[in-house]
Structure 1
Amino acid sequence: MVEGSIPSDDQHNSVYISLTEICRQQEVSHVYLTIYRNRKLFIGSKQYHTYDSGFTLAQEGAYIANNESSLNGQAIDDAPSRCMRQIALPRRSPVLSGTVLNNGETVSQLSNANIMTVLRFDITNILSPLHGRFRVTWWDTQRSEWSTEDQCETTTERSMIVARCQHLTDFTLIVLPTTGVSPHISLPQRLFASAH
């Protein structure tokens, strides 16, 4: 929680909530900050391709199969085609969560459009996408999937992705493609595919 400026030299995954700004408009009784190491608790019916620098297609198939078996009979969508424009989830990206309560009621947004939280994702060990860009998005509890709408304002500062968000919920890092090519296919795979 921050009541001053956000430390710019912090090189860890972190979430900051501006209590000064929130308390100007809203009473606050409790504040919870949570960092989940992975997205295992955020599984819905939609399947995503994962994105990792050392990840092979065989490993990805095993990962999707494991996710399917963990849904306990819940209907799931097929994983999207590699040729389809889609978001990808970096494998090593955590979920950063911020919750503010006012006497048991969740305060997820303020009446004005001020920034409620600043999130910092360490991308030191995540390969930069070739045909996409990092974005920060939120878990849509109504649809049980990562939202492609109303994403946070995202910038890159050295080896950190910094997002400024106008609401509180669960956030993660995604790779949003800039072309029709899937962002998680590595350069050697693309060269091999184009050589035929």
Structure 2
Amino acid sequence: MDLLVEAVRNLEMRYLNLKTTLAALSVGAVLAFSGAASAATLTGALCGNKWIGLSQNGTELSALMCQNGNTTGGKNSPIGQLGWTDLAELNGSGTSGILTVDGSTKTWSLSSTSGYEMIGISVKQGNGFAFFKLDLDDALTGMFGTGNNAPNGSVFSHYNAWGMGSSSTVPLPAAAWMLIAGLGGLAALKRRKRT
């Protein structure tokens, strides 16, 4: 059963990665034909009854999930049910865990990836929320926008940071010591059999 759950999660993540890639290509094509958009102007998406947009290091991100709903945090939320771990939640400007949000400048930042292979951010306003997957090869900073007619405001009710795919590998130095101890144990057993 665990293998089936893991296989479904892997398929969901492949689907989300493909969706992100296709959305990024379509946004890139639009920008290429219409001229570069200002970093301070977000197109966003209508999620529930509000427009929500997010950029990372000047590049607008496409929402992987854009829905009606009032539950954005925790394992029972739509994002948590896909296997994402809720790392931080803010209800207004401030800092929580790895996440910092400043509503007056409409900016966000993450202090680290906390060892996760994928990081995402969800923004909620009104009865809608949007979820964005971040590019870990880029700066973990950006802007957000929310509003009734366009994502040009800074009001939000919840802001969450999410992680998925944390690696639990044994560090190389620890593995080397374990190998040496194992070889030493085998040598001791071999020596004991000779006498």
Q: Fold match, TM over 0.5?
A: no
Structure 1 or 2: larger helix share?
2
The higher radius of gyration belongs to 2
TM-score, normalized by length of structure 1? 0.26
Q: Which structure has the higher relative contact order (CA within 8 Å, separation 6+)?
A: 1
TM-score, normalized by length of structure 2? 0.26
